[in-house]
Chains A and B, each alone.
Chain A
């Protein structure tokens, strides 16, 4: 047991040929956010505060698809969504309480971001088709700069998760994805905290984040086995990745896409930053 933290900057078809100048800023950002989150946990800040401050940092970084740097709707505007959930573990047999906050796209923020959006380079990602999944090879750059998220647990087993996104390129105005939906992109209870990323519609229909916790609870699987099961069996290949921590300080970061920008650290000194599957 001990604290643990994991964060992601999106799962998708990140080509192995991603040039260093595209890769390095993101890796640096992940490292920086991991350090921030780790320092906060060491300073005994509650996981809910930790995930918020880490995701804020990721939102402020224009290399990720959240806050500043959000991808554009079909109208060339930015519409963001985010979610945070607190899975409180109280002692002495008190019932678990999970206050959750659901934030809808905020029109005022949207106006502010439009000005910044004019400075954002348009992502080359293909818009996701409903019926047919097009794996069109992209000429350059990553195929999907993704959603960001963070999960954390402290020594007492208090868990929290947060996810934030600009959605995907050329989405219809008003489109809401999995990110702000409790149980889809974000979930935390007394078993684990989960933040998912990938193709929103697939994550919603598979209730990815909730299912990791449900499988741990109802089938007794470990965090890693539950997360692997959901990623391998419940979401089609190429659609999802997640980061998760358990109440006992374990961490896992599975994905069924080409890559996922991710980082994690645990109290016993383990840490990892990566993009593609670690062989």
Chain B
């Protein structure tokens, strides 16, 4: 066995003009979450417990798009979704359409551990959460000033395709397809930055786990479900590895991105980094996305085909890195 390893992400697809202070805030949050996970691993918590507690921390912080700080639906409300998977036994739990559960990833965990099902959504999911005694809050708890402003911009962007306020400086290093403002999910990245969060862990017993959580797409239709709660798309874990994805939901879904990392390892015998690279290059077509992954041998890897991904990773032998850009 190669020891424990952990990776966290706060979304793939970052506005290259993101103000410096925001970049620093993001790196600090990633570092804090990484350290939380590392001390949990050092206390011999299992992979599944570690991914849950790290994602809870990311959900509680308003910075990224999950839990508090989630993107808003077209109606100005928050609807969250999450999924979690335990590589040993490939048990999984997922939730969608949450409006009152303070920590979606914990409800996903309860669905996995305490319900006869793997995926619950909307009122049924929240009722289950209530029965299980999870902390419930008002929908307003999740809404931040920043996102209320963002929603306004998004609604404007939907009527005019490009935002003339976004400076075009520094875009020459971006995707070759773009000739005007950098786009993701079809619209300017400053408004549609995914910022989904996730965590993958392999513990010292070689068990892998993964979890992903999000508020989804800014200005989304109510009821819209993305890739984050879909096992095999946004989240996957098995004996070999644990994977969490972020980016353009549709591309991740049709590329069954997280499952494919494990599938190429299993069916083509690729190593973790090779598998991650292969999937990012071959499985996304025109889509933009990123992912983090760990293997049962204590390796950690990440990949993305868009501009930037908020991420951090660490391994037992002392390696630690937090980054945003290439």
A: residues with CB less than 8 A from B are: 85, 95-100, 102, 104-105, 127-130, 171-177, 181-184, 187, 200-201, 204-207, 210-211, 214-215, 218-219
Contacts of A127 on B, CB cut-off 8 Å? 116
Q: Is B150 engaged at the interface, CB distance under 8 Å to the other chain?
A: no
CA separation between A218 and B260, bound complex, in Å?
Answer: 10
CA separation between A222 and B103, bound complex, in Å?
Answer: 44
Contact at A176–B253, with CB atoms within 8 Å? no
Contacts of B259 on A, CB cut-off 8 Å? 183, 207, 210-211, 214
B: residues with CB less than 8 A from A are: 90-92, 94, 96-97, 115-125, 127-128, 223, 225, 230-233, 236, 250, 253-254, 256, 259-260, 263-264, 267-268, 285-286
Chain B contact surface mostly: mixed
Contacts of A206 on B, CB cut-off 8 Å? 90
With CB as the reference atom, state the residue of chain B lying closest to A217. Answer: B267
With CB as the reference atom, state the residue of chain B lying closest to A131. Answer: B116
Contact at B117–A171, with CB atoms within 8 Å? yes
CA separation between A95 and B286, bound complex, in Å?
Answer: 9
Contacts of B115 on A, CB cut-off 8 Å? 130, 172
Contact at A97–B92, with CB atoms within 8 Å? no
A178 CB to nearest B CB, Å: 9
A-B contact count (CB 8 A): 115
Contacts of B232 on A, CB cut-off 8 Å? 181-184, 204, 207, 210
Contact at A102–B225, with CB atoms within 8 Å? yes
CA separation between A95 and B284, bound complex, in Å?
Answer: 10
Contacts of B122 on A, CB cut-off 8 Å? 105, 174
Contact at A104–B223, with CB atoms within 8 Å? yes
CA separation between A37 and B294, bound complex, in Å?
Answer: 45
Contact at A99–B120, with CB atoms within 8 Å? no
Contacts of A173 on B, CB cut-off 8 Å? 123-124, 127
Contacts of A172 on B, CB cut-off 8 Å? 115-117, 120, 124, 128
Residue from B92, B117, B128, B256 within 8 A of A210 (CB atoms): B256
Contact at B263–A218, with CB atoms within 8 Å? yes
Contacts of B286 on A, CB cut-off 8 Å? 95
A267 CB to nearest B CB, Å: 28
With CB as the reference atom, state the residue of chain A lying closest to B92. Answer: A205
Q: Which of B122, B124, B268 has the most CB of A within 10 A?
A: B124
Q: Which of B90, B118, B225, B231 has the most CB of A within 10 A?
A: B118
Contact at A176–B116, with CB atoms within 8 Å? no
Contact at A97–B119, with CB atoms within 8 Å? no
CA separation between A127 and B115, bound complex, in Å?
Answer: 12
Contact at A205–B119, with CB atoms within 8 Å? no
Contact at A211–B263, with CB atoms within 8 Å? yes
CA separation between A197 and B299, bound complex, in Å?
Answer: 36
A221 CB to nearest B CB, Å: 9
B88 CB to nearest A CB, Å: 12
Contact at B285–A214, with CB atoms within 8 Å? no
Contacts of A183 on B, CB cut-off 8 Å? 230, 232-233, 256, 259
Contacts of B118 on A, CB cut-off 8 Å? 200-201, 204-205
With CB as the reference atom, state the residue of chain B lying closest to A95. Answer: B285
Contact at A205–B91, with CB atoms within 8 Å? yes
Contacts of B92 on A, CB cut-off 8 Å? 204-205
A137 CB to nearest B CB, Å: 21
Contact at B285–A176, with CB atoms within 8 Å? no
With CB as the reference atom, state the residue of chain A lying closest to B116. Answer: A130
B79 CB to nearest A CB, Å: 11
CA separation between A127 and B264, bound complex, in Å?
Answer: 35
Q: Which of A98, A99, A176, A181 has the most CB of B within 10 A?
A: A176
